Copies of this chain bind each other. A is one copy, B any other.
Amino acid sequence: MAVTIKDVAKKAGVSPSTVSRVLSNHPRISAETSRKVKEIMDQLGYHPNIMAKSLVSKTTNSICIMLPKSAEELFSNFFFMELIRGIVTQANRLGFDVLLSSGANEKEEVECVSRLLNGHRVDGVILLYSRINDPVIDFLYKNNHNFVLIGRSEQYPDILSVDNDNVQASYDATKHLISLGHKRIGFVSGPPELVVSKDRLKGYLLALNDAGLETKPEWIVEGEFLQESGYRAISFFMNLPDRPTAIVLIDDVVSFGVLRGLYELNYKVPEDLCLVSFNNIPLAEMSTPPLSSVDIGIYNMGYTASGMLIQAIQNNSGDKTVPGRYIIPHRLVVRESSIFSVQKD
């Protein structure tokens, strides 16, 4: 049997409550007793039972990360790992543990957060994705749980969320290509049910409109956050009669597929086609040619989301002065994949 607070109390000749006070650095405890109790504690190898503490304090000092139903299909792994690193780092710094969960589908996801939150297993949840019309968000919102979104919700614009200004980011990326003289610019998007796909598409269209450039439905293709998407998209694009001379891509990984496809078709980047994508993963710098990419501060998003959630949890019995929405700044990193200027035609 593990050593409990009572064992420590007995051996130290004090009451259990005194030991408890020492544990939580209660102000009104004599330095002497504190020292003695602490000594006995590690003499006995005492470790507080976290479950017992949680039971009475009604707080778990834990948060939960919900992975999307099929992380492997939707996103580049890099994105998630980086987000998670940020979340875990900040949570640990603030004395919180992090639980990782996922469901096979939306129903399971709801059941999962419900079990965890209502079962007092965790104090709050971070969703790593923002889907349009998400039942998980509905559940969390309606039951007044603590949660923060990576991204944003269209239905509930005021909920806690950490996001980029994806419209602006995409606008910037597109603008960059326009400034190089490109007139025909394509867009490879992500899954349409994700808010981020929608926002980036919007920014792209806005930039073209502002520049008075033509937009064509066939210059926009939807895909996933996978190389295959880029690979497929490119054979489509390059066969168009009026093919784009540059494209904006939802994710660096998609660019890799494009690069591969272009190589096989014997096209050169940036001479035949300029590329700008999002996320700026480390590999972007090392590809041939190095990829222009919008750095969106993924780690920072995770870190910030984690801090926001924990602040919300701790403020919960007080005033609700937590800001609703936090925008992580983005930064376009121009590399070789987009340094080719188009000749006047």
Could you tell me which A residues sit within 8 Å of B by CB distance? 2, 45, 47-52, 54-55, 60, 62, 65, 67, 71-72, 77-78, 80-82, 84-85, 88-89, 92, 97-102, 114-116, 118-121, 226-227, 231, 253, 256-257, 259-260, 263, 282-283, 285-288
Contacts and interface: CB of A to CB of B under 8 A. Distances in A.
A299 to B, nearest CB: 8
A328 B119 CA distance: 37
A42 B1 CA distance: 37
8 contacts: A47-B115, A51-B51, A77-B77, A98-B100, A99-B99, A231-B286, A283-B283, A288-B288
A92 B101 contact: yes
A263 B286 CA distance: 10
Nearest to A52: B55
Given A47-B118, A51-B121, A80-B81, 17 more contacts: A47-B114, A47-B119, A49-B55, A49-B120, A51-B51, A51-B54, A55-B55, A65-B100, A72-B85, A77-B77, A88-B102, A98-B99, A98-B101, A99-B99, A226-B282, A256-B287, A260-B286
A59 to B, nearest CB: 10
Contacts of A260: 286-288
B47 A51 contact: no
Nearest to A257: B286
A45 B139 CA distance: 13
**Most B CB within 10 A of own CB, among A48, A80, A227, A288:** A288
Main secondary structure of the interface of A (DSSP, over half): helix
Contacts of A226: 282
**Most B CB within 10 A of own CB, among A49, A100, A101:** A100
B77 A82 contact: yes
A231 B2 CA distance: 52
A300 to B, nearest CB: 13
A121 B263 CA distance: 52
A88 B108 CA distance: 14
A285 B120 CA distance: 45
A45 B62 CA distance: 23
A85 B71 contact: yes
Contacts of A65: 100
Contacts of A118: 2, 45, 47
A227 to B, nearest CB: 4
Given A77-B82, A88-B67, A119 B49 contact: yes
Contacts of A60: 51
A319 to B, nearest CB: 22
Contacts of A80: 81
A47 B115 CA distance: 7
A100 B100 contact: yes
